[in-house]
Structure 1
């Protein structure tokens, strides 16, 4: 054997041994240190209520793979990425009960760390705010840009509400100042890095009781590069500029910069003008230009002054003829162009709104106690004397039966020929206008505080007692739900089968207004607290409210474009967008309690206490095709659900 081979064997063996010894510390030094886990909220010994965010701080010399939340020795949930926050619903737990919270964390080597336990006591000083919907805000933006996000919800106890946004980047906003239940809150956020973020929000009341976290809004943040611009001009200037459904905070004429390339939706809004909308293609490093001429709306097309105040709500015949009653004891007919067609005199004020039958006959009541039936030419066909004044508006059944409320406490049913069929006595005057369901059930309110459901054969189906007079006329939803208001300040939703309440919403004043229903099911109704409300049909929560300077007793009418039209005792006729913002308003000479009608061409017809009937321009393409878009259901005021 050569010397070289001998040396190799000797040092080669030693080398292998050396390598083994060198690697042994690495193997023996495998990570055995567990994560350090601390519960930072809630505090040990504290009280909890509503939806509680259990917040954990977990650190490890390598990394934290997961955090588990243990409540009363039971696993509540496990998270696999920060933030380490678990939402705990305490609402179903017994008042005064004590609970122990622990958290454990694992690192990649399966070392487990455990927190010290935290003991809390459940105390519910109030009901939590309703869970907010997903925040509203831009779906995209750029790094460093201040983006505006909005949230709103209501509190079942009417408490004021504060909001906190979770930005989805492991940071949160501070709790906002408290605002009134249902009032919208805006918060700005600038993201520091590009990425896709899920923005959520929660609410708390003045008792610190917290709601659940809302659904998320996805926001894509891009780096500031390769952007384009839009120069936005309008005649007249001063229009709000909205981009992709978000108010930019700028008005025309203005330059919008730092806009991501692609197709963007641009909208312009200015009070008294039709909304302008366009699709703009944004190209990197280029400026697109938009030049808009805005269309004036909400102006008088024609006006006719009668001899008395107008409480009556107009009806529109199939040929466009407009019918309306006046306190000067007359019913008037006008052509769509505003030409006087005819007038018919009764013995006393006509506050009842006319209804137009399929054959063109006009049905209406008067304070003279008569139900009047006229030919389309304004000639008397029949009249029927009841036992009290009639301010209720007739509803027309599919079989021709006429239903009308009366100041003699009765709901009257007459044949299409104006002959007595039956009457149903309630415990008070019936100023409410009846509504007829698709199954023929007649719903009507009474001053005895009840809403009645009466079968076509006069038998009582059910009745529901509120806390005060019911002069509101019901609206009927697509599923048959009956919506109406009461002078006790509530808006009610009742099950049509048995009259059991689905929900009720308390406003700040008497509810004499009648509801209308939008195409998405939203319930619109006014209140003597000077506001118009938009309510969620499922739970009665406020989507938004709009304040005027007087009682809102006019029933809203919803246009095919979603615009809501109504009057106020402050003397204005209002047009609001579906999001509750003002589109236009027109000032009449006195209070407006009449409910608007919408012509096929979008003309808005509405009466005023200044004795005049107004025809105003709008950009709505007719009446909405919703289950109950206006007072008495349709342009003919039939008060009957269905097509």
Structure 2
């Protein structure tokens, strides 16, 4: 007799389990038949290990690392349009992700919340100027700077504006956030008014500001109790994070357009003087400098325990020895590389190029392992959230790829 034909009150424990499994299977089949996208969403949400990418470069120190192991080839699962390609409304910010929602702004002046699994819009806000820097998170707030000179904070669930803070210049830089010893959250962001600001994340109240002598274009890195950043004045700044007081300034000598990666008291800098350099930011010593060609570096470096990976406008990306700056390998694309590379699981390098391709290289030898033709310049770093990989491009689209896990043995 079939289990379903028995009276429910007389089912044995084993029969009850079988019946429950049959009902669950039937429900899933009905869900898939009625709404395949919803079924796929549920599956993706259940299997992804961590649907967060809270910092644009993977961490507060901006080292450009992800623990996710890539299983190539990656599979494109959705694209999302943030702007008008004809009007050149591209994406210049790295997406950030929290709880399965993607947050990204574009040159269109629109800032979006997108469902990670489906690529569907959850909410958007629109301003008159572009969003070019990455957003950040504090509690249930998502916070981003805008070229209109304001820093905005929205409810991450609804998009309702909670506060805004006005600087005296355009904001092209990304957000970084930190908590003090009491657990109070703060926002760090630079502006074209030459100031780095520290704001109370809950209210937008200014806590301190630090003045440089030129624009601040990149996000500030955080290492222990210090803020480390550079700017258009060619200086490396080390600031006490609690007070905003200067700890040290170091002359680099050329425009620094992006963030600085910091680890173990060392700052790894790429700049417009055509160099990649490492500085001890405690005593100001230059540890090494690399520069073989007369082309500037805009993309920020990725830094692992042993290696520094840097990409430049000479169309090349290189692996350098972290201790010495000695080149190990180089890989050439067909376009300038302004998109900061990401090191994944110490095995692959993921980056986009001005030639319109999104690449994955073998970190050990620089061999190309995968590429995808997007067809538009990629000027931003990728983001990795669970088994999803995101990158924006100059065509105004955000591209989402699925990193399909290897089957269990």
Match status 1:300 vs 2:76: yes
Distance 2:302 2:141 in 1: 25
Distance in 1 of aligned mates of 2:100 and 2:323: 36
Structure holding more helix per residue? 2
Residue number among 589, 593, 616 corresponding to 2:401 in the alignment = 616
- Of 333, 346, 354, the match for 2:127: 346
C-alpha displacement of 1:346: 2.2
1:524 aligns with 2:300: no
Matched, 1:514 2:295: no
Q: Would the alpha carbon gap of residues 363 and 620 (structure 1) be closer, same or farther in structure 2, given more than 3 Å must change?
A: farther
Question: Equivalent residue for 1:401?
Answer: 186
Unaligned runs of 5+ in 1: 1-273, 276-294, 622-643
2:380 match: 594
What residue is the counterpart of 2:107 in the other structure? 327
- 1:469 maps onto 2:249 in alignment: no
Deviation per residue, 1:69-101 (Å, 9 max, x gap): xxxxxxxxxxxxxxxxxxxxxxxxxxxxxxxxx
Give the drift of 1:347. Answer: 2.7
* 2:371 is aligned with 1:585: yes
Q: Which residue of 2 aligns with 1:493?
A: 278
CA distance in 2, matches of 1:613, 1:584: 19
CA contact (8 A) 1:316 1:356 kept: no
Per the TM alignment, residue 296 of structure 1 is displaced from its structure 2 partner at its CA by 6.4
Residue 370 of structure 1, aligned match among 137, 141, 150:
150
Moved over 6 A (4+): none
1:574-622 per-residue CA deviation (whole Å, 9 max, x = no partner) reads 1111121111111113110011001212x2100000110001233579x
SS of alignment partner, residue 331 of structure 2: strand
**1:154-303 to 2 correspondence within 5 Å?**
297-303=73-79
Superposed counterparts of 1:123-142, under 5 Å: none
**Residue 575 (str. 1) matches residue 360 (str. 2):** yes
Deviation at 1:507, TM superposition (A): 4.3
Evaluate the alpha carbon distance shift between residue 296 and residue 566 of structure 1 in structure 2; reply closer, same or farther with a 3 A threshold: closer
Structure 2 partner of 1:72: none
Give runs of aligned pairs for residues 440-459 of structure 1, distance below 5 A. 440-456=225-241, 457-459=243-245
> Is the partner of 1:452 in helix, strand or coil?
strand
Contact 1:507 1:527 in 2 (8 A): no
User: Where does residue 267 of structure 2 map in the other structure?
Assistant: 482
Question: Structure 1 residues 406 and 620, CA, compared in 2 at 3 Å: closer, same or farther?
Answer: farther
Q: Following the alignment from structure 2 to structure 1, what is the Cα–Cα distance between the partners of residues 338 and 256?
A: 13
TM-score by length of 2: 0.76
| Matching of residues 307-326 of structure 1 within 5 Å | 307=83, 308-317=89-98, 319-326=99-106
Cα distance in 2 for partners of 1:298, 1:420 equals 43
CA distance in 1, matches of 2:115, 2:176: 24
Count of residue correspondences? 323
For 1:560, the equivalent position in structure 2 comes to 345
CA distance in 2, matches of 1:455, 1:593: 31
How far apart, in 1, do the equivalents of 2:336 and 2:266 lie? Answer: 26
- 2:72 and 2:370 in contact (8 A); partners too: no
* 2:82 and 2:105 in contact (8 A); partners too: no
CA offset at residue 314 of structure 1?
0.6
Distance in 2 (CA, whole Å) between partners of 1:545 and 1:620 is 29
The alignment partner of 2:179 has SS state of: coil
Radius of gyration: which is bigger? 1
Deviation at 1:561, TM superposition (A): 5.6
> 2:163 is matched with which residue?
382
Q: How far apart, in 1, do the equivalents of 2:307 and 2:400 lie?
A: 26
Alignment check: 8 A CA contact 1:432 1:444 kept = yes
Pick closer, same or farther for the CA change 1:364–1:300 going to 2, 3 Å. Answer: same
Partner of 1:430: 216
Structure 2: how far apart are the matches of 1:355 and 1:321?
Answer: 13
Q: Deviations over 1:200-236 (max 9, x none)?
A: xxxxxxxxxxxxxxxxxxxxxxxxxxxxxxxxxxxxx
**CA distance in 1 between partners of 2:115 and 2:345 (Å):** 23
Larger RCO: Structure 1 or Structure 2 (Cα < 8 Å, ≥ 6 residues apart)? Answer: 2
Shift of the 296–510 alpha-carbon distance from structure 1 to 2, 3 Å rule, reads closer
Deviations 1:441-490 (A, max 9, x none): 1111110111111112122111122232111201112x231111111011
Q: State the TM-score, normalizing by the size of structure 1.
A: 0.49
